[in-house]
């Protein structure tokens, strides 16, 4: 299969930049002043920006499928409630491993916790793996620990692709498959937890 990728201008589309920039600016304003969300124009704009998040998850699912990656998705309850139908559809269509993700405590609390149900072995040094990798820091993972790339950061997509490329270039597929098998578990061991 071949694909032709044309590049017609040395700059991004001004129309797209204006629309996207305005949307993000309005979204940022409504986050600072929630009262703006009551205005239909702001609310419609915010929903459009937020819809990009589930769209980004759909893109990641397809990218991982193409790359032969077996992803695990940690989804917080508030996200599951908001996008329940689309997440369930993705789960069924791609046979995804989707787990409940729980935050207990907030920064800078050194005793804060991040949990997954069914459980995963993800200590604190893995929680910001994506940001640290993007900043050039070499993050050493122990056996059974997974690199975490957040769906909340769609602007990291190019970095995620770079990461996949680097990993695939360095290690044969059989090694990657073995790592994924070590982390698989299907049984929930968490009691109900109140998130922070």
Task: Return the H-helix or E-strand segment holding 191.
Answer: none
Task: Give the per-residue pLDDT at 171.
Answer: 77
Task: Give the per-residue pLDDT at 176.
Answer: 55
Cα 176 from Cα 170, distance rounded (Å): 10
Task: Give the per-residue pLDDT at 187.
Answer: 56
The total number of structural domains that make up the chain: 1
What DSSP string runs through 4-18?
Answer: ------SS--HHHHH
pLDDT per position as a tens digit, 5-56: 888 888 888 998 998 899 999 999 988 998 988 899 888 888 888 888 889 9
All residues at 6 or more sequence positions from 74 whose CB lies less than 8 Å from its CB, including other chains: 99, 100, 101, 116, 120
Residue 15: inside a domain:
no
Residue 42: inside a domain:
no
Residue 54: inside a domain:
yes
Residue 95: inside a domain:
yes
Residue 175: inside a domain:
yes
Which domain range does residue 105 map to? 50-182
Nearest to 61 by CA among 27, 95, 26: 95
Task: Give the per-residue pLDDT at 189.
Answer: 46
Task: Give the per-residue pLDDT at 1.
Answer: 87
Low-confidence ranges of the chain (pLDDT < 50): 186, 189-193
Residue 39: inside a domain:
no
Residue 196: inside a domain:
no
Cis geometry, peptide bond prior to residue 178 (ω within 30 degrees of 0): no
Residue 21: inside a domain:
no
């Amino acid at each position: 299969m071949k694909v032709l990728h044309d590049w017609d201008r040395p700059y991004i589309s001004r129309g797209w930049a204006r629309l996207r920039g305005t949307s993000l600016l309005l979204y940022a304003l409504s986050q600072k002043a929630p009262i703006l969300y009551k205005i239909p124009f702001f609310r419609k704009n915010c929903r459009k920006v937020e819809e990009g998040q589930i769209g980004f998850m759909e893109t990641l699912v397809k990218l991982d499928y193409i790359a032969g990656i077996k992803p695990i998705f940690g989804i917080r309850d508030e996200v599951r409630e908001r996008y329940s139908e689309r997440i369930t559809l993705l789960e069924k269509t791609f046979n995804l491993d989707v787990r409940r993700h729980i935050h207990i405590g907030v920064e800078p609390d050194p005793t804060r916790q991040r949990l997954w149900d069914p459980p995963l072995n993800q200590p604190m040094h893995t929680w910001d793996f994506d940001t640290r990798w993007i900043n050039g820091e070499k993050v050493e993972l122990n056996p059974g620990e997974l690199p975490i790339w957040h769906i909340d950061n769609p602007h990291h997509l190019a970095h995620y692709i770079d990461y996949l490329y680097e990993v695939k270039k360095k290690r044969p597929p059989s090694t990657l498959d073995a790592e994924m098998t070590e982390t698989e578990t299907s049984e929930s061991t968490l009691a109900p937890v109140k998130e922070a």
